Structure 1
Amino acid sequence: MQNTAKLESQDEVVAEAGKIATAKAKPGMSHDDKDELLENAMMGVLDRNVAIPWFGNVEEFAKGGPPPAGGKFLMHYEPRLPQMPEKPTLMDYLKKRLLLSKRGGNHLLQSANLARKNGLPDKLVLACLLHDIAVVAHIRTDHGYYGAQMIEPYVDEETSWAIRYHQALRFFPDPSVGYEYPELYTRVFGEDYVPPNYVKQAYDEARNHKWYMSARLVTMNDLYSFDPNVKVDVDDFTDIIGRTFRQPEDGLGFDNSPSSHMWRSLIWPNNFL
């Protein structure tokens, strides 16, 4: 069960922290600096420390880790984010967590929308809707594996398989279906980037698998340059989710599945333990 005790509402925390951060902001501050200022202001309002995973602050950990922090920490309480219901559904996670990221959320919605327009079966439209959930709200590294593991207990095996292997297939063109190496990757990784061996091995395995085209179709509907003017409503996918995602009765994250802990981490992303 969730601890629903609240010190302040989300709106109160954000409003008060916004006032503090605005008063301390200086001309010319970067977007990241402003975000950090607001984050610190929120913690001041809450009188709580935030436990940041080591991979979220690599530079500090490489120097020996952060100094001990006094006071209280966030623990099964996250007023900075919308309150989740006691028995959350996938749609709750989409609306109250994953789609809070405007760019990442639009990417998921537009990829799924394209897949639906292209006539993909429901289970692959769902794969496109969820293919980057780890990137958006969990971790970028090996996001295909994390994303697949999160949804495996609740979907058709082909859906999770497609999400797992789309990660490797993105790096390898397939002229037979018109898939080219993304120009974006050349820009952000460099012209000389070569995927590591485990990615090549995953590609070889997928290339010879009966579901190869399922994962390839995810990459082909994986929009790297989506139209910011196109608005897609997540509610448009309610029926597809209902047909392809097995919602646990006890709530997603509280059903003792092998991936329940991964969903709970989206409810309370900065628990101390």
Structure 2
Amino acid sequence: MKTVDIDRRSFIAKLGGAAAVLTMAPELLAEELEDEMIRELDNSFQQETPQQQETEDPPKPTHRRGTGRVFTNMKELPPLPDKPTFIDFFNARFAPGRHVLQSANHAVETGQPERTIFACLVHDVVQGLVRSDHGYWGAQLFAPYVDERVSWGIRYHQALRFFPDDEVGYEYPEMYNRIFGKDYEVEDYIKKDYDMVRNHKWYMESRLITVNDQYGFVPGYEPSIEPFIDIIGRQFKQPKEGLGYDNSPSAHMWRTLQNPDRPL
């Protein structure tokens, strides 16, 4: 399986150099790497000249590393309707979403349950809002609108990605070893969550997200949201008031995604 390739030296330089990397928590390093892979995947659809690739220096950070993409991309955001749906948000705030679309498409191709397909489709979209601890934030974002097993799976896929499972063909990501070294250790809360999840009856809800996640970094492959419309309709409980206006526990998160320029 061909996936996007990350240049180790360039990536570490973007993080501030080897000395800066040594001070960063392992979980943050993993978040940075996944974000870089998603950016590289999206950039694979944009043409750059060899001269651009050779001469452009890595940009210096202008924001906190865990900041969501709606706060770091200063391009004008498409407006949302008065009663926005999940599909409205996907197209206007989460697009292009190639990584999650590819992950969900792999779940379809391998005949996985519809609930798993939907979980793969949404497991990383919260990174538009916040990147740090994205599994936990993502679970909170979707919990009022989905089967409890879906939000549970989203929450704990963040921990499971660091731990292999030979029975389902999930290996420890070699990219972590190549970029960070063999002595890479996750934080205690990640280990504790893994120990709990490994013995939980819903273990596979999270594990299958990590399995399909591996197939979400294929350059040159751009699936569409259209084949998932019916699945979204069955798996997502769309509020009649519109996302952000239904007084759910996560309504404020959807409003923030709708208007990240709101000062208060």
Q: Normalization by structure 1: what TM-score?
A: 0.70
Question: Partner residue of 2:137?
Answer: 146
Q: 1:224 to 1:140 in 2, by over 3 A?
A: farther
Question: Partner residue of 2:31?
Answer: none
Candidates 73, 77, 95, aligned match of 1:81: 77
Tell whether 2:112 aligns with 1:120: yes
Q: Distance in 2 between matches of 1:29 and 1:178?
A: 39
Q: Distance in 1 between matches of 2:180 and 2:131?
A: 14
- Cα offset for 1:189? 3.5
Q: Distance in 1 between matches of 2:65 and 2:185?
A: 26
Q: Distance in 2 between matches of 1:141 and 1:79?
A: 22
Matched to 2:193, the amino acid is: A
Question: Partner residue of 2:195?
Answer: 204
Residues 54-65 of structure 1 mapped to structure 2, 5 A cutoff: 56=67
- Ranges of 4+ aligned residues in structure 1 off by more than 4 Å: 28-31, 52-56
Tell whether 2:178 aligns with 1:187: yes
Q: Is the Cα–Cα contact under 8 Å of residues 161 and 215 in structure 1 kept in the other structure?
A: yes
Spell out, residue by residue over 1:217-268, the C-alpha distance to the aligned partner (whole angstroms, 9 max, x if none). Answer: 1100003662222221101100000000000000011111000111111111
Which structure 2 residue ranges, 5 or more long, are not aligned?
Answer: 1-54, 68-73
Q: 1:225 to 1:126 in 2, by over 3 A?
A: closer
Q: Distance in 1 between matches of 2:216 and 2:112?
A: 20
Q: 1:114 to 1:87 in 2, by over 3 A?
A: same
Q: Is the Cα–Cα contact under 8 Å of residues 133 and 147 in structure 1 kept in the other structure?
A: yes
Q: 1:53 to 1:175 in 2, by over 3 A?
A: closer
Question: Partner residue of 1:91?
Answer: 87
Candidates 181, 188, 213, aligned match of 1:222: 213
Tell whether 2:233 aligns with 1:246: no
Question: Partner residue of 1:131?
Answer: 123
Matched to 1:127, the amino acid is: A
Paired residue total: 206
- Cα offset for 1:272? 1.4
Q: Normalization by structure 2: what TM-score?
A: 0.72
Candidates 99, 105, 108, aligned match of 1:107: 99
Q: Is the Cα–Cα contact under 8 Å of residues 184 and 224 in structure 1 kept in the other structure?
A: no
Higher alpha-carbon Rg:
1
Q: 1:150 to 1:225 in 2, by over 3 A?
A: closer
Q: Is the Cα–Cα contact under 8 Å of residues 112 and 125 in structure 1 kept in the other structure?
A: yes
Q: Is the Cα–Cα contact under 8 Å of residues 156 and 244 in structure 1 kept in the other structure?
A: yes
Q: Is the Cα–Cα contact under 8 Å of residues 107 and 223 in structure 1 kept in the other structure?
A: no
Question: Partner residue of 2:47?
Answer: none
- Cα offset for 1:190? 3.2
Q: Which moved more, 1:218-227 or 1:149-158?
A: 218-227
- Identify which of structures 1 and 2 has the higher relative contact order when contacts are C-alpha pairs closer than 8 Å and 6+ apart: 2
